[in-house]
Structure 1
């Protein structure tokens, strides 16, 4: 029941933020649609800790700003390499450890790699993530395990 109410509030807040509508008619239609979604989800019995990972919010609040910084840093590096052709690129495929406690953690890690310019997740398994890295520095950054440790902290491991 607690998860159902939490989902109702999260979806309602998201709807309100994204729509920006505050007229009584649209608010009631939004509430009706959110209630219908929550009723379907409850009936399908798919509400679990990974379906509504509210417990991850404190860790994600710390992780997301760090990830944004990494994306900006990598973006500038890739742009610099495009503008200055004399800067080397060394495309490579590396496997990084992905033994996170949950599937949410593994998916967050793989998506974080793909969001970071110069790297892309090619294959995700229970043990590893295969990554294409544009430069040796990008591959070394991933191999250092800093991003993996931060994702593990964010997932509460």
Structure 2
């Protein structure tokens, strides 16, 4: 029950943030109604559990998101330099990155973090490893990708 309430509050908070309607009673009521219906459907589908609705937002998530934003900015700059260079120094290759995350959410976060970083994309996922396509040698830095995985694991394990 607590997970459903948490999910409902989160959905309504997101709805308020995205809609911007704070002074229209009808729209607020419809927003509450849509969130209640969404939670009801999710509960009937039995997808409301401890993994899909975390009760506490770990503070490490904010640090990780800040770090990831900086990494995305650095990778954007590196890819921009390669693209604008008179001779494109592309050295495309596929690499395998070990995934040591213990939960599905951790693995998805790691795979999406790789894909969000310009110059890399997660092509295939297995239980313990990912196949990653990299545009350049810098993007294919296995040490940097392993560090990213370790950071995701650190956030994931702080329970």
TM-score category of the 2 structures, normalised to the smaller one: over 0.9
SS of 1:145's equivalent?
Answer: helix
The structure with the largest helix share of the pair is 1
Q: Is the contact made by 1:96 and 1:143 (CA closer than 8 Å) also made in structure 2?
A: no
Q: Is the contact made by 1:74 and 1:116 (CA closer than 8 Å) also made in structure 2?
A: yes
Q: Which runs of 5+ in 1 are unaligned?
A: none
Q: Is the contact made by 2:114 and 2:145 (CA closer than 8 Å) also made in structure 1?
A: no
Q: Distance in 1 between matches of 2:96 and 2:144?
A: 8
After superposition, residues 24-103 of structure 1 pair within 5 angstroms as 24-86=25-87, 88-103=89-104
Q: Is 1:2 matched with 2:2?
A: yes
Provide the TM-score with structure 1 as the length reference.
Answer: 0.93
Per the TM alignment, residue 99 of structure 1 is displaced from its structure 2 partner at its CA by 2.3
Per the TM alignment, residue 44 of structure 1 is displaced from its structure 2 partner at its CA by 2.1
Q: CA RMSD in A?
A: 1.6
Provide the TM-score with structure 2 as the length reference.
Answer: 0.92
Q: How has the CA–CA distance of structure 1 residues 92 and 37 changed in structure 2, closer, same or farther, with 3 Å as cutoff?
A: same
Q: Distance in 2 between matches of 1:144 and 1:33?
A: 40
